[in-house]
Structure 1
Amino acid sequence: MASAQKMLLEGVSDAVCFMLGALAGYGLGKMVGIDIFEDGYSGSGMIGILMIGLGGGAGLHIARIWRSHQQAKNKLEEAEVD
Protein backbone atom coordinates (compact mmCIF):
# COMPACT_ATOMS: atom_id res chain seq x y z
CA MET A 1 0.00 0.00 0.00
CA ALA A 2 1.27 3.45 -0.84
CA SER A 3 2.59 5.51 2.02
CA ALA A 4 -0.03 8.24 1.61
CA GLN A 5 -2.87 5.70 1.61
CA LYS A 6 -1.44 3.99 4.68
CA MET A 7 -1.18 7.29 6.55
CA LEU A 8 -4.73 8.25 5.53
CA LEU A 9 -6.09 4.90 6.71
CA GLU A 10 -4.22 5.29 9.99
CA GLY A 11 -5.50 8.81 10.60
CA VAL A 12 -9.10 8.08 9.68
CA SER A 13 -9.28 4.86 11.71
CA ASP A 14 -7.72 6.60 14.73
CA ALA A 15 -10.18 9.49 14.50
CA VAL A 16 -13.27 7.33 13.99
CA CYS A 17 -12.43 4.89 16.78
CA PHE A 18 -11.48 7.72 19.16
CA MET A 19 -14.80 9.44 18.54
CA LEU A 20 -16.79 6.21 18.90
CA GLY A 21 -14.99 5.45 22.17
CA ALA A 22 -15.59 8.96 23.48
CA LEU A 23 -19.28 8.73 22.56
CA ALA A 24 -19.47 5.35 24.30
CA GLY A 25 -17.94 6.92 27.43
CA TYR A 26 -20.42 9.79 27.25
CA GLY A 27 -23.33 7.38 26.78
CA LEU A 28 -22.20 5.25 29.69
CA GLY A 29 -21.98 8.36 31.84
CA LYS A 30 -25.49 9.42 30.84
CA MET A 31 -26.78 5.93 31.68
CA VAL A 32 -25.49 6.21 35.23
CA GLY A 33 -26.76 9.77 35.60
CA ILE A 34 -23.61 11.82 35.06
CA ASP A 35 -24.06 15.12 33.21
CA ILE A 36 -20.80 16.70 32.05
CA PHE A 37 -22.57 19.90 31.01
CA GLU A 38 -23.89 20.88 34.44
CA ASP A 39 -22.85 24.25 35.89
CA GLY A 40 -19.42 24.37 37.47
CA TYR A 41 -16.96 21.57 37.91
CA SER A 42 -18.68 19.15 40.23
CA GLY A 43 -17.26 15.77 41.12
CA SER A 44 -19.70 13.90 38.92
CA GLY A 45 -18.96 16.23 35.99
CA MET A 46 -15.24 15.55 36.35
CA ILE A 47 -15.89 11.80 36.46
CA GLY A 48 -17.95 12.16 33.27
CA ILE A 49 -15.11 13.99 31.54
CA LEU A 50 -12.74 11.26 32.70
CA MET A 51 -15.07 8.60 31.28
CA ILE A 52 -15.09 10.35 27.91
CA GLY A 53 -11.30 10.54 27.89
CA LEU A 54 -10.90 6.91 28.85
CA GLY A 55 -13.44 5.86 26.24
CA GLY A 56 -11.61 7.81 23.55
CA GLY A 57 -8.28 6.31 24.59
CA ALA A 58 -9.75 2.82 24.54
CA GLY A 59 -11.17 3.44 21.07
CA LEU A 60 -7.79 4.61 19.84
CA HIS A 61 -6.15 1.52 21.32
CA ILE A 62 -8.72 -0.72 19.61
CA ALA A 63 -8.01 0.99 16.26
CA ARG A 64 -4.30 0.31 16.61
CA ILE A 65 -4.90 -3.34 17.55
CA TRP A 66 -7.21 -3.72 14.54
CA ARG A 67 -4.58 -2.24 12.20
CA SER A 68 -1.85 -4.52 13.53
CA HIS A 69 -4.10 -7.56 12.98
CA GLN A 70 -4.84 -6.37 9.44
CA GLN A 71 -1.11 -5.97 8.72
CA ALA A 72 -0.37 -9.46 10.06
CA LYS A 73 -3.20 -10.89 7.98
CA ASN A 74 -1.90 -9.15 4.84
CA LYS A 75 1.64 -10.43 5.44
CA LEU A 76 0.32 -13.96 5.90
CA GLU A 77 -1.66 -13.74 2.65
CA GLU A 78 1.42 -12.43 0.80
CA ALA A 79 3.52 -15.28 2.18
CA GLU A 80 0.95 -17.84 0.98
CA VAL A 81 0.98 -16.37 -2.53
CA ASP A 82 4.78 -16.62 -2.78
Structure 2
Amino acid sequence: MKKLLAEGLVDALGFVAGALAGFGLARMLGWDPFAAGYGGASLGGILLCGLGGGAGLQLARRLVRRRKDS
Protein backbone atom coordinates (compact mmCIF):
# COMPACT_ATOMS: atom_id res chain seq x y z
CA MET A 1 0.00 0.00 0.00
CA LYS A 2 2.81 2.44 0.85
CA LYS A 3 4.49 1.70 -2.47
CA LEU A 4 1.34 2.61 -4.41
CA LEU A 5 0.83 5.78 -2.38
CA ALA A 6 4.43 6.84 -2.98
CA GLU A 7 4.09 6.13 -6.70
CA GLY A 8 0.90 8.19 -6.90
CA LEU A 9 2.47 11.09 -5.05
CA VAL A 10 5.52 11.07 -7.32
CA ASP A 11 3.25 11.02 -10.38
CA ALA A 12 1.19 13.93 -9.04
CA LEU A 13 4.22 16.01 -8.12
CA GLY A 14 5.86 15.37 -11.49
CA PHE A 15 2.70 16.35 -13.36
CA VAL A 16 2.13 19.53 -11.35
CA ALA A 17 5.78 20.60 -11.60
CA GLY A 18 5.78 20.00 -15.36
CA ALA A 19 2.49 21.83 -15.85
CA LEU A 20 3.81 24.81 -13.89
CA ALA A 21 6.97 24.81 -16.00
CA GLY A 22 4.84 24.74 -19.15
CA PHE A 23 2.71 27.56 -17.78
CA GLY A 24 5.81 29.62 -17.04
CA LEU A 25 7.15 29.02 -20.54
CA ALA A 26 3.81 30.00 -22.05
CA ARG A 27 3.74 33.22 -20.04
CA MET A 28 7.30 34.03 -21.12
CA LEU A 29 6.17 33.65 -24.74
CA GLY A 30 3.24 35.97 -24.07
CA TRP A 31 0.62 33.22 -24.27
CA ASP A 32 -2.09 33.15 -21.62
CA PRO A 33 -3.86 29.82 -21.10
CA PHE A 34 -6.48 31.58 -18.95
CA ALA A 35 -7.36 34.26 -21.51
CA ALA A 36 -11.00 34.63 -22.51
CA GLY A 37 -11.94 32.74 -25.65
CA TYR A 38 -9.95 30.23 -27.61
CA GLY A 39 -7.53 32.33 -29.64
CA GLY A 40 -4.15 31.14 -30.82
CA ALA A 41 -2.30 32.47 -27.78
CA SER A 42 -4.75 30.82 -25.41
CA LEU A 43 -4.57 27.46 -27.18
CA GLY A 44 -0.78 27.64 -27.30
CA GLY A 45 -0.68 28.23 -23.55
CA ILE A 46 -3.04 25.33 -22.89
CA LEU A 47 -0.93 23.10 -25.14
CA LEU A 48 2.30 24.00 -23.34
CA CYS A 49 0.70 23.35 -19.94
CA GLY A 50 -0.46 19.92 -21.08
CA LEU A 51 2.84 19.00 -22.68
CA GLY A 52 4.73 20.19 -19.62
CA GLY A 53 2.53 18.13 -17.33
CA GLY A 54 3.04 14.99 -19.41
CA ALA A 55 6.77 15.54 -19.64
CA GLY A 56 7.03 16.13 -15.90
CA LEU A 57 5.10 12.94 -15.20
CA GLN A 58 7.34 10.89 -17.47
CA LEU A 59 10.49 12.42 -16.01
CA ALA A 60 9.34 11.67 -12.46
CA ARG A 61 8.56 8.06 -13.38
CA ARG A 62 11.96 7.58 -15.03
CA LEU A 63 13.77 9.05 -12.05
CA VAL A 64 11.95 6.71 -9.66
CA ARG A 65 12.58 3.71 -11.92
CA ARG A 66 16.28 4.58 -12.21
CA ARG A 67 16.53 4.89 -8.43
CA LYS A 68 14.91 1.43 -7.97
CA ASP A 69 17.38 -0.15 -10.41
CA SER A 70 20.39 1.27 -8.57
Which runs of 5 or more residues in structure 2 are unaligned? none
| SS of equivalent to 2:57 | helix
Between Structure 1 and Structure 2, how many residues are aligned?
70
Separation in 1, partners of 2:60, 2:35: 31
Look up the SS of the partner of 2:60 in the other structure. helix
- Tell me the residue number matched to 2:64: 67
Structure 1: 5+ residue runs without aligned partners?
Answer: 74-82
2:11 matches 1:14: yes
Give the letter for the 1:15 counterpart.
A
Runs of 4+ more than 2 Å apart: none
Q: How does 1:1-82 map to 2 (within 5 A)?
A: 4-73=1-70
Identity of aligned residues (%): 49
Q: CA RMSD of the aligned region, Å?
A: 0.7
Normalising by structure 1, we get a TM-score of: 0.82
In the alignment, the residues of structure 2 paired with residue 16 and residue 42 of structure 1 have an alpha-carbon distance, to the nearest angstrom, of 29
Query: Is the radius of gyration larger for structure 1 or structure 2?
Result: 1
TM-score by length of 2: 0.95
